[in-house]
Each structure stands twice: as C-alpha cells, then as structure tokens.
Amino acid sequence: MSFTEQVVYIVYVYSFIVLFIYINPSVINVILFFIYCFYTTWVIGTGCKHFIITENSPKLLITAQYSLFCTSCYYIINITWNKYKNNLYYRAALLLLPLLYTLNIKIAEQLFNCGEYHNYNNAYLIYFLVIGINLTIIKMFYSNNGLL
C-alpha cells in the first residue's frame, strides 16, 4: 500500500467521523449518505473479476448491505458521541476506524479479485473531491461556531 493511499483513507474516514458527530442524521441526510455510499461502492466494484461482483444481483446485495452498514455507523456515531466521547475505549474505536476501513478495502480487493490498488485507482478522484467537501464543511462549521 502506498503512503498516499494510507493518508487519503485516514483523512477520508476522520473527516466523515467529524461530520457524523456534528451533523444530525435527518431522514434526508441519511438517504443522501446511503445513496453516496451505494454509488461509490458500486463504481469501485466495477472491474473486479469475481463472479459475485460481475453479476448484478449479488453485487446489488453486497453494495446495499455495505451502504446500510456505513449509514448505520453515521447514525450510531452521532447518537453515541455525547454520551461516550470521554470514554477511552470509544475514542480508541473511533481512532481505529481508518485501519478497519483500509483492511476492509484490502480484503475486498483480494476476495473479489480486483487487483492491488483497485479501490484507490478507481476512486481517487472521488476521495479527493469528498475530502475537499468534508473539510470545507468542517471549516465552515467551526468558523460559524467560533471554534476557528
């Protein structure tokens, strides 16, 4: 794994964690985030050679389940942050999310016969765009609340 890929995944996941904490999961936000997860996961899966990903029905099921998991994480992080933010184990779990995300990607690349760096190569533009948007939203949020 390249250094750039690692840094991108870390910033990507942490930027979402910050947004998950501060942006309440309204119905619209949850639906939009689910659509984002579904679309990006579908696009990233394109080009893999395993039959589970090349056939639309299993790919649809896997993509929907993963998107539901990501959307659930959004909801869970948002509702648990105020209660557990001072808990060492909770914070450690949040700090480990980029590692879990990276492991998920690397395992999926192997399982679905995608090739090394498939995820990053297919989605680097999405990652950079989303990181830019997320960091802009975070900066606006902190500026508006007098935190920056």
Query: What's the whole-model pTM score?
Result: 0.91
With contact defined as beta carbons under 8 Å apart, do 104 and 98 qualify? no
Half-sphere exposure of 29 toward its Cβ, with a 13 Å CA cutoff?
A: 12
Give 108 or 142, the one with higher predicted confidence: 108
64-123 per-position pLDDT tens digit: 999 999 999 999 999 999 999 999 999 999 999 999 999 999 999 999 999 999 999 999
* First-to-last C-alpha distance (Å) of the chain: 34
